[in-house]
């Protein structure tokens, strides 16, 4: 049995922190028509969560257009929870979007009832995170606070410290995504994930990136990560495996708990 958080997060009828870890598929189409078609394809896969990566969308330059697209995606997904992310360019975003525009998108989407969770980078700082946290809490929306390192794994328990800072900033779910360049870095991530799971009561997402990191995604869940990411075609991060592959491994590792 994998270690579980004492305070799971509920997104609609999905539990982040259940015995079987959750799989999220990012929606990364770059125009409206493709985004809607991609959302329809995702419904057939039945992921636990869909992440709307608004930084990929050409509509993201207009708040009205972005929210209209999000509303249509929300309708297509039905009861599948929607995580809204407009990623900073410096942390893997597809295009640069002004921070005020990104935060305004979160605030309006939350108020419209479109998003079940929103993702804000730890590097945005406490003032911005607190602003998003306040509006998210008022509408019962979960906050993901995230950290990404596309070079390597932070060493000497730095991952655990990053997760602690994310929870202190107000995260309901704390996320780290790091590049794996060696077997030793893979072991560092797994050990840090287990230590963090034992320390903190809320869900975590510890994601391995890169070719070497792909196989660690389901394995990391065994060590305490409650949420991982998989693609339905185009990946949103290096080494992101296809959903069918991750689900197959999840079935082997955790199918017995169902």
DSSP secondary structure letters along 25-93: EEE--SSHHHHHHHHHHHHHH--SEEEEEGGG-GGGGSHHHHHHHHHHHHHHHTTS-EEEE---GGGT-
pLDDT for residue 238 is more than 60: no
- Residue 2 in domain: no
Q: How far apart are CA 80 and CA 82, in angstroms?
A: 7
Catalytic hit among 175, 183, 202, 247: 175
Task: Quickly state the pLDDT bin for 194 (edges 50, 70, 90).
Answer: very high
**Structural domain count of the chain:** 1
CA angle 149, 108, 104 (to 5 degrees): 50
> Checking DSSP bridges between strand 173-179 and strand 49-53, what pairing results, if any?
unpaired
- Residue 59 in domain: yes
Q: What is the pLDDT of residue 239?
A: 57
Q: What is the pLDDT of residues 14-29, one digit of tens each?
A: 999 999 999 999 999 8
- Residue 150 in domain: yes
Q: At 158, which CATH number? A: 3.20.20.70
Q: What is the pLDDT of residue 149?
A: 84
pLDDT for residue 233 is more than 70: no
Which of 6-15, 116-125, 144-153 has the least mean pLDDT?
Answer: 144-153
- Token representation of residue 51: 């992440």
Q: What is the pLDDT of residue 195?
A: 95
40 is an active site residue: no
pTM of the model: 0.93
- Residue 252 in domain: no
- Token representation of residue 9: 């997060």
pLDDT for residue 11 is more than 60: yes
pLDDT for residue 4 is more than 60: yes
Q: Mean pLDDT, to the nearest integer, of 211-217? A: 80
133 is an active site residue: no
User: What's the domain range around 159?
Assistant: 16-247
Q: How far apart are CA 177 and CA 91, in angstroms?
A: 10
- Residue 56 in domain: yes
Phi first, then psi, for residue 99 (nearest 5°) are -60, -40
- Residue 11 in domain: no
- Residue 69 in domain: yes
Task: Quickly state the pLDDT bin for 1 (edges 50, 70, 90).
Answer: confident
Catalytic hit among 88, 133, 148, 247: 148
């Amino acid at each position: 049995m994998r270690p579980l958080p004492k305070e799971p997060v509920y997104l609609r009828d999905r539990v982040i922190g259940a015995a079987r870890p959750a799989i999220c598929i990012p929606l990364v189409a770059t125009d409206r028509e493709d985004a809607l078609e991609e959302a329809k394809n995702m419904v057939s896969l039945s992921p636990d969560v869909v992440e709307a990566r608004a930084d990929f969308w050409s509509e993201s330059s207009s708040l009205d257009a972005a929210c209209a697209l999000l509303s249509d995606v929300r309708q297509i997904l039905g009861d599948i929870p929607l995580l809204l992310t407009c990623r900073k360019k410096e942390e893997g975003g597809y295009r640069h979007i002004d921070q005020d525009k990104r935060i305004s998108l979160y605030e309006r989407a939350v108020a419209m009832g479109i998003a079940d969770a929103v993702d804000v980078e730890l590097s945005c700082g406490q003032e911005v995170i607190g602003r998003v946290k306040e509006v998210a809490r008022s509408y019962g929306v979960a906050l993901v606070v995230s950290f990404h390192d596309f070079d390597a794994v932070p060493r000497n328990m730095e991952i655990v410290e990053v997760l602690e800072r994310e929870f202190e900033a107000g995260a309901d779910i704390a996320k780290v995504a790091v590049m794996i360049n060696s077997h030793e870095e893979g072991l560092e991530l797994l050990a840090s994930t287990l230590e963090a799971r034992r320390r903190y009561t809320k869900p975590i997402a510890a994601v391995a990136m890169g070719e070497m990191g792909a196989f660690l995604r389901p394995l990391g869940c065994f060590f305490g990560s409650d949420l991982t990411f998989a693609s339905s075609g185009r990946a949103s991060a290096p080494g992101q495996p296809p959903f069918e592959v991750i689900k197959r491994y999840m079935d082997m590792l955790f199918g017995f708990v169902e």
